[in-house]
């Protein structure tokens, strides 16, 4: 996108859904400007355990260990995915990298926009957990309202 | 993936000016036709709007195929309907970026469009206008100041004129007081 100089830095929010893959593909279609940079962000929510006051300590440790393993594997999957998207964008001529952030999706996406000083946020219309929001995912909707920058919602 | 038809719905506000610039750039990039659409609310006099729309179209037209259209209806749904009808591949839309109460009554066009559109939607927030520092063209300023208030349709510099804002606030406060009156808790 050479013309509006506002499109130097792009943050793409990925979540593994088909819509978010299309979001990355849309960016790949734009012609990268000089110094054009894309950050593919996937936010992983940490596994949260309930408090287990009556559970014996060894069992508690085991459950915590399983949760940690789950966290690790989710993070690894997420990293593979953002790296894959970054590689695809790099082929299109963008300087791209993948970032996995831990936390709640929307705050982390907004934090990524600030951290990258992005000009535009690209997200898919619906995410992985879109059963209840059948036309527009909650993250996309909230991003529309809260994002300080332009938002491209790809279907 | 590459859109051949790009839609820029405009309400002639500064917020949509910003979106217009980006829509134009996108259309140039893609070699696409740019559709400039203005939706006339159901009970409005459309006599001057055609000329205004033609001017808006001309401003964006350089080096581009531009098609302008004037439709009547509810903005969100009409935009989506137009997009389906014309096989639009990308909608570039300005948002006024309102929140809270005024968002609930006014800022929902972008939301409707994003929700129902058959294609990707790029939303451009209004605040992008200020930091650019580019002088607003004289025509645009004239358009803004002559704009009618959304509620009472009297000419106003703002989207909703001060008396109407005061009234809306007052009504909201009354409702709130009514809803939260002691002794009414739990009642519908």
Interface of B with A (CB under 8 A): 1-2, 21-22, 24-26, 28-29, 95, 99, 103, 110-111, 114-125, 127-128
pLDDT band for position A114 (cuts 50, 70, 90): very high
pLDDT at residue A135 greater than cutoff 70: no
pLDDT at residue B48 greater than cutoff 50: yes
Q: How far is CA B85 from CA B50, B81, B88, B89, in A?
A: 21, 6, 8, 11
pLDDT at residue B105 greater than cutoff 80: no
Residue A37: per-residue pLDDT: 93
Q: Which residue has the higher pLDDT, A6 or A151?
A: A151
Phi (first) and psi of residue A107, to 5 degrees: -55, -35
* Length reported for chain B: 188
Of A120, A150, A152, the CB nearest to B120: A152
Of A29, A120, A136, the CB nearest to B1: A29
Long-range contacts formed by B146-155: CB under 8 A, 24+ apart: B147/B12, B147/B13, B150/B106, B153/B44
* Length reported for chain A: 155
Whether complex ipTM tops 0.85:
no
pLDDT band for position B160 (cuts 50, 70, 90): confident
Residue A8: per-residue pLDDT: 84
Residues A25-50, buried b or exposed e (16+ Cβ, 10 A)? ebbbebebbeebbbbbbbbbeeeeee
Phi (first) and psi of residue B101, to 5 degrees: -65, -50
pLDDT at residue B83 greater than cutoff 90: yes
Residue B101: per-residue pLDDT: 57
Chain A environment of B92 (Cβ under 8 Å): none
* Residue from B56, B52, B77 nearest B66 by CA: B56
Separation between Cα atoms, residue A8 and residue A10, nearest integer Å:
7
User: Over pLDDT 90: what percentage of chain A?
Assistant: 46
Q: What is the mean pLDDT of residues B114-123?
A: 88
Of A4, A141, A150, the CB nearest to B25: A4
The residue of chain A with its CA nearest to that of B98 is A145
pLDDT band for position B171 (cuts 50, 70, 90): confident
Of A31, A141, A150, the CB nearest to B124: A150
- H/E segment holding residue A100: strand A95-102
Residues A75, A23, A113, B60, Cα dihedral to 10°: 170
Sequence-distant (≥ 6) Cβ neighbours of residue B67 within 8 angstroms: B33, B34, B35, B36, B57
Q: What is the mean pLDDT of residues A47-72?
A: 89
Residue B149: per-residue pLDDT: 76
Q: Which residue has the higher pLDDT, A67 or A35?
A: A67
Q: Do A1 and B26 touch (CB under 8 A)?
A: yes
Q: What is the mean pLDDT of residues B149-171?
A: 76
Parallel/antiparallel/unpaired status of strands B90-95 and B66-72 = unpaired
Q: What is the mean pLDDT of residues B70-75?
A: 90
Q: What is the mean pLDDT of residues B63-67?
A: 92
Residue A3: per-residue pLDDT: 41
Which of A119-128, B144-153, B179-188 shows the lowest per-residue confidence on average (mean pLDDT)?
A: B179-188
Range among A22-31, B3-12, B13-22 rated most confident? B3-12
Q: What is the mean pLDDT of residues A127-139?
A: 60
Residues B40, B42, B46, B52, Cα dihedral to 10°: -20
List the domains of chain A with CATH numbers: 5-46+80-154 (3.40.50.620)
Q: How many CA atoms lie within 13 A of A145 on its CB side?
A: 18
Average pLDDT, chain A: 85
Q: What is the DSSP track for B102-143?
A: HHHHTTTHHHHHHHH-SS-EEEEEGGGHHHH-PPPPHHHHHH
Chain A environment of B21 (Cβ under 8 Å): 4
- H/E segment holding residue B39: strand B33-40
* Residue from B165, B172, B109, B131 nearest B180 by CA: B172
């Amino acid at each position: 996108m050479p013309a509006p100089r506002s499109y130097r830095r792009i943050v793409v929010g990925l979540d593994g859904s088909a819509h978010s893959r299309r979001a990355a593909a849309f960016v790949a279609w734009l012609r990268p400007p000089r110094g054009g940079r894309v950050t593919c962000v996937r936010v992983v929510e940490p596994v949260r355990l309930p408090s287990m006051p009556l559970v014996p300590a060894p069992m508690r440790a085991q459950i915590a260990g399983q949760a940690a393993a789950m966290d690790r594997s989710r993070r690894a999957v997420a990293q593979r995915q953002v790296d894959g998207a970054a590689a695809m964008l790099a082929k299109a001529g963008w300087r791209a990298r993948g970032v996995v952030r831990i936390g709640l999706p929307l705050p982390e996406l907004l934090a990524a926009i600030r951290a990258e000083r992005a000009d535009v946020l690209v997200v898919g219309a619906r995410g992985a957990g879109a059963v209840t929001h059948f036309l527009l995912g909650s993250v996309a909707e909230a991003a529309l309202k809260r994002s300080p920058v332009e938002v491209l919602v790809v279907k | 993936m590459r859109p051949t038809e790009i839609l820029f719905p405009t309400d002639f506000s500064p917020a949509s000016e910003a979106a217009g610039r980006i829509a134009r750039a996108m259309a140039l990039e893609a070699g696409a036709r740019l559709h400039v659409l203005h939706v006339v609310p159901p009970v409005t006099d459309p006599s001057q709007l055609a000329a205004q729309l033609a001017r808006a179209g001309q401003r964006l037209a350089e080096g581009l195929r531009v098609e302008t259209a004037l439709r009547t209806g509810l903005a969100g749904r009409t935009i989506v309907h137009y997009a389906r009808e014309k096989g639009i591949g990308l909608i570039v839309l300005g948002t006024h970026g309102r929140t809270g109460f005024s968002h609930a009554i006014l800022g929902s066009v972008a939301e409707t469009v994003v929700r129902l559109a058959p294609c990707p939607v790029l939303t451009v927030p209004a605040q992008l206008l200020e930091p650019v520092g580019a002088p607003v063209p004289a025509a645009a300023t004239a358009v803004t100041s002559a704009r009618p208030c959304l509620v009472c349709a009297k000419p106003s510099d703002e989207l909703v004129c001060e008396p109407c804002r005061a009234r809306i606030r007052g009504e909201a406060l009354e409702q709130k007081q009514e809803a939260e009156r002691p002794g009414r808790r739990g009642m519908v």
